[in-house]
């Protein structure tokens, strides 16, 4: 894989500092049942890294110490960590809101039949990836058969009450572009998803979040090998909006790797860029002693992926697009 970091390290991205911590995002490991072309984690079926229970216990202690409200679980496929159910049970018992970043196909994997009913019983918010409502686009990005499998899995979640406002089980979907272009306006795309998924498959969901592809890891390598890296980063940089820097996720979220080390976001974790960019990596246990409030954030060229256009975060767009704003593309 071609390394995009040397092209991103020197950057004029504005300096940022942290606000109060609201979310602990735990990466439970890089194991995944599929292997997507855009995956910034470089996750897949052969990865073996995973968070152990003592590290999870430490994370819960940090959450209690700093009155963190949300535990955001990601991977890989977080449910493939054997301690997933223990962690969710302990976090819910401690009164935390839990979000699971779900690759819906895991629900159909043999041995993972428990996933959907378990999430519903624990009232976990599900954030499910469905990068397009077109079968061809999804399968091109994620692999053959992934779209059909995802649709069946989303129906299963609906059967359990997800996406039904009366039941209060939240199902949000994630869209990311199938190539080197910015996401289209979130509100308009959400309306298209609602209409198409309902009419075609009878699927309901709460919100659609649009995320920009980051020029790092597998996608960064793809851009370099196709001669599109500089052009794509140029598109991100040209679309930067300063007002988006107030709401980027790294201000209130800290990303934790499977060993307990801290990063300003999941992207920085994958780049090996420690929290604040200092030489000594910080660990969860450091957070038991002192908070991160006001600490500097490690920024570089990829950060324009969060501030371009309508902005992008793990909760989707940051602002609504300007009237008449067009989708920028690299062909």
Which CB, 75 or 163, lies closer to ligand SF4? 75
Which residues on neighbouring strands pair with residue 280, listed in sequence order?
Answer: none
The token duo for 215 is 């020029």
Which CB, 39 or 90, lies closer to ligand SF4? 39
10 Å CB burial of residue 12 (0-12, 13-18, 19+) is: exposed
Which CB, 34 or 119, lies closer to ligand SF4? 34
Torsion angle, alpha carbons of 238, 242, 246, 250, to 10 = 30
- Residue 322 CB, shortest distance to ligand SF4, in Å, is 20
The answer to whether residue 137 forms part of the interface with ligand SF4 (CB under 6 A) is no
The answer to whether residue 173 forms part of the interface with ligand SF4 (CB under 6 A) is no
The answer to whether residue 268 forms part of the interface with ligand SF4 (CB under 6 A) is yes
- Residue 146 CB, shortest distance to ligand SF4, in Å, is 9
CA–CA distance from 245 to each of 201, 273, 304 (Å)? Answer: 38, 19, 10
Residues 28, 172, 82: CA angle, nearest 5 degrees: 25
Q: Residue from 116, 265, 284, 292 that binds ligand SF4 (CB under 6 A)?
A: 265
Which CB, 151 or 249, lies closer to ligand SF4? 249
Segments of 150-295 assigned E as strands: 171-175, 208-210, 253-256, 262-263
Q: Are 297 and 16 in contact (CB under 8 A)?
A: yes
Which CB, 41 or 154, lies closer to ligand SF4? 41
Q: Residue from 71, 87, 302, 316 that binds ligand SF4 (CB under 6 A)?
A: 302
Q: Are 323 and 176 in contact (CB under 8 A)?
A: no
Tell which positions 58-97 bind ligand SF4, by CB under 6 A: 75-77
The answer to whether residue 256 forms part of the interface with ligand SF4 (CB under 6 A) is no
- Residue 93 CB, shortest distance to ligand SF4, in Å, is 27
The answer to whether residue 7 forms part of the interface with ligand SF4 (CB under 6 A) is no
Q: Are 4 and 223 in contact (CB under 8 A)?
A: yes
- Residue 307 CB, shortest distance to ligand SF4, in Å, is 7
Sequence-distant (6+) residues with CB within 8 A of 115 are 79, 102, 106, 107
Please give the Cα distance from 115 to 112 (Å, whole number): 6
- Residue 249 CB, shortest distance to ligand SF4, in Å, is 5
Interface with ligand SF4: number of residues (CB under 6 A): 25
- Residue 214 CB, shortest distance to ligand SF4, in Å, is 7
Residues that bind ligand SF4 (CB under 6 A): 32, 34-36, 39, 41, 43-44, 75-77, 103, 129, 248-250, 264-265, 267-268, 297, 299, 302-303, 306
């Amino acid at each position: 894989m071609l390394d995009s970091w040397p092209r991103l390290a020197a950057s004029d991205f504005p300096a940022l500092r942290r606000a109060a911590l609201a979310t602990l995002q735990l990466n439970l490991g890089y194991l995944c049942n599929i292997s997507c072309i855009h995956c910034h984690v470089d996750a897949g079926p052969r990865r073996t890294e995973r968070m152990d229970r003592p590290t999870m216990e430490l994370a819960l202690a940090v959450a209690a110490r700093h009155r963190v409200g949300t535990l955001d679980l990601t991977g890989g496929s977080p449910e493939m960590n054997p301690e997933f159910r223990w962690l969710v049970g302990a976090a819910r018992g401690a009164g935390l809101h839990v979000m699971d970043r779900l690759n819906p196909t895991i629900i159909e994997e043999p041995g993972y039949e428990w996933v959907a009913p378990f999430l519903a019983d624990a009232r976990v918010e599900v954030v499910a990836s469905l990068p397009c409502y077109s079968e061809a686009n999804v399968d091109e990005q994620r692999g053959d058969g992934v779209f059909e499998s995802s649709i069946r899995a989303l129906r299963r979640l609906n059967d359990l009450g997800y996406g039904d406002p009366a039941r209060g089980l939240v199902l949000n979907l994630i869209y990311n572009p199938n190539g080197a272009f910015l996401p289209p306006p979130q509100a308009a795309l959400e309306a298209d998803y609602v209409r198409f998924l309902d009419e075609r498959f009878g699927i309901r969901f709460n919100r659609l979040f649009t995320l920009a592809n980051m020029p790092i890891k597998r996608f960064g390598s793809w851009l370099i090998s196709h001669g599109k890296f500089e052009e794509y980063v140029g598109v991100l940089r040209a679309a930067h909006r300063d007002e988006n820097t107030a709401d980027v996720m790294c201000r209130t979220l800290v990303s934790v790797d499977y060993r307990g080390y801290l990063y300003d976001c999941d992207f920085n974790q994958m780049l090996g860029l420690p929290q604040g960019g200092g030489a000594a990596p910080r660990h969860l246990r450091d957070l038991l002693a002192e908070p991160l409030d006001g600490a500097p954030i490690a920024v570089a060229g990829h950060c324009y992926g969060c501030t371009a256009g309508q902005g992008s975060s793990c909760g989707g767009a940051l602002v609504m697009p300007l009237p008449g704003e067009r989708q920028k593309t690299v062909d």
